[in-house]
Amino acid sequence: MGNQSSCEFCAYYIYNESYDCYECMVNLDEDDLEKFMRSSTDNCSYFKFSDDYKIVRKQN
C-alpha cells in the first residue's frame, strides 16, 4: 500500500451501531483535527492497518 491509506482498511475505522455508520475513532485534539480536515485521507498519519488474521498466524 505504500504511503497511501484507505479508511476501510484502518483499525480506527469502526462501525457505530447507534448511528448506523462507520466513523474514525482516532482521538484528535483541536489542532490535529484542523490539520486532518484540511488534508486528504490518502496520506493519513494515523492510519493503522487492521489485520484480523494476525492472531491466527501467531497461533499456528
As a whole number of angstroms, the distance between CA 18 and CA 55 comes to 28
| Per-residue pLDDT band at 10 (split at 50, 70, 90) | confident
Indicate the domain borders of the chain: 7-59
pLDDT tens string 27-43: 888 988 888 788 765 67
| Per-residue pLDDT band at 18 (split at 50, 70, 90) | very high
Q: How far is CA 60 from CA 17, 31, 49, 51, 53, in A?
A: 33, 43, 21, 16, 11
In one letter, which amino acid is 35? Answer: K
Claim: this prediction has a pTM higher than 0.95: no
